[in-house]
Amino acid sequence: MPVTPRGARQVATLSLVFGVVLLAGAATGAWGEPGTPGRPPSADTAPVAAATLGAGQDPAGADLSEQQAEHLIGAVGDRWGAYYSAQEYAEFSQGLGGRYVGVGLSVGRGQDGATAVSRVQPAGPAAAAGIAVGDRLLRIGADQADHLPVTEVVARLRGREDGERQVGSEVVLAVQRGEGEVREVRLRRALLDSQQVAAERLAGGVVRVTVRAFTSGVAEQVRAAVRDARAGVVLDLRGNSGGLVEEAAGTAGVFLDGGPVGSYQDRGGTRELTAPPGGDQRTPLVVLVDGGTMSAAELLTGALQDRGRAVVVGSRTFGKGTVQQPSRLADGAVLELTVGRYFTPAGRSPEGTGLAPDVPAADAEDTAGLALRVLAGLGTRA
């Protein structure tokens, strides 16, 4: 199945969404209802014809077909723009709320270009089929996984086209463990709890907290996980695909006593993001990042790095520093367009270049060990 322009943009948005909940005027939770910023759409909104849309105009309420929406995205050259049917958007919002349709595995790409399984969700379809962390993912359907962007691999696993992203829909994978035989696995997608936060107590009282994405409630889960971690915290954001900016800012507030997290642009100008007050600024903190650290995870990394709160260890992050705004069209579909960039407290934008770590690490194993050595050298803050 080739990568279509629509599919590629949806892949990026599904994997890299940056907190548009704030831009859409929603207060909490997942995305909420898109529409004109600050005002939810109403049933009596008069449809706007596609021909009347000008550059930079909010398309909320526009009477656009899928083809017209795709043409609009292409005409403005919006790399992250995407069109969703009403059902697709509802499923996406459900994922940000903590549940998603998928097969229960995450993947990453090593320095050698190989696509490997980085996480298997317990009791999910992949775990039931015997897939394990470290297995190489060779094919999805008939296509070579290594020839696809990682974000496209993620979307193929979840399902992308109409009818594919449903409970019970099927995906066929070819996997290999070590130098063993290539095995074909047929998985049926299921509705899964996202389980985005995992905590592990290491030697010496250090706590490692892995955050895979910023869905609803993640900030409070991180706060609970590090409550007794006086010896140090390793915050693992490797492979974190982003999510809700309010949750990323809330997570910053676990380690900062208020103050700036960053800023972002939208059609109304520049807005400041701040951390809630009262965070722990004493416990030593190391943040782990890699090429799969994206979007809202880059915002959090940049805030902790700029404000001198954490030492960042790993490799350069993905490089998505743009903000998208969803608009509800006349037929209930959603068109999402890029409205600006976000910046770290020091004014850096990750867009296109990513963020460089303070301490580079060559591979995943070296990163984990190096993080503990860096942590040991930090000492408790006064």
Region 200-224: mean pLDDT is: 92
What pLDDT is attached to residue 203? Answer: 83
pLDDT band at 204 (very low <50, low <70, confident <90, very high): confident
User: If pLDDT is split at 50, 70 and 90, which confidence band does 11 have?
Assistant: very low
Looking at mean pLDDT, say which of 130-144, 165-179, 203-217, 356-370 comes out highest: 130-144
Q: Is pLDDT of 188 > 90?
A: yes
Least confident range of 2-11, 61-70, 91-100, 349-358: 2-11
Task: Identify which of 218, 226, 368 has the alpha carbon closest to the alpha carbon of residue 300.
Answer: 218
Residue 37 has what DSSP assignment?
T
Q: Token pair 């229960």 is at which residue?
A: 104
CA–CA distance, 96 with 77 (Å, rounded to integer):
27
Q: Is the pLDDT of residue 284 over 60?
A: yes
Structure confidence by residue, pLDDT tens digits, 119-156: 788 889 999 999 998 999 999 999 999 998 877 788 78
Q: What is the mean predicted confidence (pLDDT) over 344-358? A: 96
Residue spans in the chain of domains classed CATH 3.90.226.10? 197-321+339-378
The CA distance from 253 to 276, in Å, is 5
Q: What is the mean pLDDT of residues 227-231?
A: 88
pLDDT score of 269 more than 90: no
Confidence of residue 55 (pLDDT cuts 50, 70, 90): low
Q: Report percent pLDDT > 70 for the chain.
A: 78
Query: Which of the four pLDDT bands, split at 50, 70 and 90, describes residue 160?
Result: low
Give span(s): CATH 2.30.42.10, the chain.
102-193
Contacts 24+ apart (CB under 8 A), 163-169: 165/88, 165/91, 165/101, 165/189, 166/101, 167/101, 167/191
Phi/psi of residue 172, nearest 5 degrees: -110, 125
Which of 305, 289, 292 is CA-nearest to residue 345? Answer: 305
pTM of structure: 0.68
Q: Please report which confidence band the pLDDT of residue 378 belongs to, taking 50, 70 and 90 as the band edges.
A: confident
Q: What is the mean pLDDT of the chain?
A: 80
The rounded percent of the chain whose pLDDT value lies above 90 is 44
Residue 56 confidence (pLDDT): 63
pLDDT computed for residue 110 by the predictor: 73
Query: What H or E segment, with its residue span, contains residue 136?
Result: strand 136-140
Predicted confidence (pLDDT) at residue 40 exceeds the cutoff of 50:
no
- Token output for 291: 């090429």
- Note the pLDDT of residue 54: 54
The CATH fold of domain 197-321+339-378? 2-enoyl-CoA Hydratase; Chain A, domain 1 (3.90.226)
Per-residue pLDDT reduced to its tens digit, 73-129: 888 888 888 888 887 777 666 555 556 788 988 888 876 889 999 878 888 999 999
Say how far apart CA 15 and CA 10 lie, in whole Å. Answer: 8
User: Is pLDDT of 23 > 70?
Assistant: no
Q: Looking at residues 356-372, what average pLDDT do you find?
A: 85
Residues 376 and 382: their CA atoms lie apart, in Å, by: 16
Q: Measured on CA atoms in the order 154, 156, 157, 160, is the torsion positive or negative?
A: positive
Binning pLDDT at 50, 70 and 90, where does residue 165 land? low
Superfamily of domain 102-193: PDZ domain (2.30.42.10)
Cβ neighbours of residue 143 under 8 Å, at least 6 residues apart? 1, 156
Banded model confidence at residue 277, pLDDT cuts 50, 70, 90 = very high
Helical (H) or strand (E) element with 347: none
Cα 203 vs. chain centroid, distance in angstroms? 30
pLDDT at res. 314: 94
Torsion (CA) 179, 184, 190, 192 in degrees, nearest 10: 0
